[in-house]
Structure 1
Amino acid sequence: MFDLAGTRISDGEREFLRHPAAGGLILFSRNYESPDQLMTLVSEVRGLRPDILIAVDHEGGRVQRFRAGFTRLPPASAYLEADGEAGLAAAGTAGWLMAAELRAVGVDFSFAPVLDVDTGISAIIGDRAFARTPDEVTAAARAFAAGMHRAGMAAVGKHFPGHGGVAGDSHLTVPEDRRELEDLLARDLLPFSALIREDLEGIMPAHVLYSRIDAQTPCFSHFWLQTILRERMNFDGAIFSDDLSMAGAAPAGGYANRALAALEAGCDMLVVCNTPEATAAILQALEHRTASAGSARRLAAMRGRFPIDRGELLASAEWRDAVSRIQSLTGPAP
């Protein structure tokens, strides 16, 4: 899964999209001008590769790639600032609204919800987390994912096994978490376990080194992805690597080595962003590899489940009511 440089597909990107190892496209703000432009871009992509998965990071708050023409969503922490059931209801509404608006322009899924438990340590997570206790994170994330499902969108929990306990930004460095496995099992892993029991479709591991548990970060770790996630936690969904061009992935070597190590550890799809040379190197390294039947099945479950007509969505009372509820948390769009 890789990205594009702008709002149209370049000749080189067309070659990337035609490559047999191309399985997904991740969109960013630079790829967006308007809903109509985005729908045209998605249509062109699918004209080249009808089978490709199209994704975006669209959590709300600081991480929302499309703004004008989309409802402005609050950060995850805003929902439980409301009282009790009202906050959970708002999280469910936001999950549906986010997913419905994205599905209406042809995007398959957003990398959401964030399942990290905030500790007050991580600025890169911070208000992207729903709460500071595992039970509250679980309840809000469950509601948000249920809203996504209602709009026909699969959910991806991140950042396994929990990014909330480190201060470093894995875009820039390799953060080290020195907690023991028992500490993570008793806190950070609880939201993942709960949503896995409810058939969570996807998970994205963190580029964090849990140095007292394993010598590899989770994307490259058989222990984390197989022993813990697949075997102990019985996860049968798709595993997406975090961005392999990030500094947090550098200890695994060059781009091709990172890709092969992530596949061997158990990732179903490799994500690489903002680095065309990394995309080229990884596609070349994977040219003669084919996805296993298990990976193909798991990734197929990430496709949008039914189409949504954007005009009908924007004319619906459900959409208007959802926008009104979410604007009560964020204020009107600037």
Structure 2
Amino acid sequence: HVAHLVPSAAAGIGTLLDLDEATISQAVAQALHTTTATRQSRKGEISTWKAHAPAFAGKMAVEAVDRAMRGQTSPSPIYEGEDGVIAWMLDGPDASYDVPLPAPGEPKRAILDSYTKEHSAEYQAQAWIDLARKLHNEASFDPADVASIVLHTSHHTHYVIGSGANDPQKYDPKASRETLDHSIPYIFAVALQDGGWHHVDSYLPARAARPDTVALWHKITTAEDAEWTRRYHSEDPDEKAFGGRVEITLENGTVLTDEIAVADAHPLGARPFARENYVAKFRLLAEPVLAPEEIERFLDLAQRLPELTAAEVQELNIVAKGGVLDSVASPKGLF
């Protein structure tokens, strides 16, 4: 993700600062050149670096803009150059990409093509959590009676967060939170048993080590399905899908099937996220670390964004409640 986030953030910062095109171009080039990462970040025991990648991206974007403003030049052209990103990290030196851009003055609506995460888990897991929640609430079977569960899904889901990754860590109760976040067998098992997903409790070591969860978890596999892969890559928003079909075989031989295309919170989902859902999610995540008055102050500003004064924009930040930062371990490094 850093290879997308950092150039985007650098371009955004440059635009907000009203920098000239040449400076922004140099900032974007440096931002991308210094942050291209490999798929290894999603393999095996997933690291805390992966968990902090968005913050790292923001840091690198700020530094890239700062250096470009000071006159530092960067490897260019970074995307289409002979030894650039396209040649070595994408489809090769002969590849060609068409990137649609808004015309001058045209509203920039690309953010509307992004998808909300209701649950604190990998995006490809969102729809599966919702399907597991639905099955739990229907209570048509006892998870303890399951013989096997197969999630028929896209190539990406199968090979990145599914059993197709061939990562034993995805089935390890002692795996890191970051690894469990990228294990759809674990996520589906917990959501099926609990009827939901919690950003803290669902990842606790004690939760992952629960014997009945481990037993169910190890009965869940994924399988690539050509049709779900096709829909995953579809450019038609009405057809594009991130879910799949579940096949549950019970010990008595009964086979149950169900499917889901998109998460409930998706614009085409069963319960598209609205303003109140975003506010509720912010409160859920903020309450442990922010004072009530700080939560209200920030929400008031954020919900009046178009009318804020320059001084109020500078207040769009948050201050942790007393003792929170001191409670976080800070191992000694170089600085």
- Greater radius of gyration (CA): 2
TM-score range, shorter chain: under 0.3
What TM-score, normalized by structure 2, do the two folds share?
0.26
TM-score normalised by structure 1 residue count: 0.26
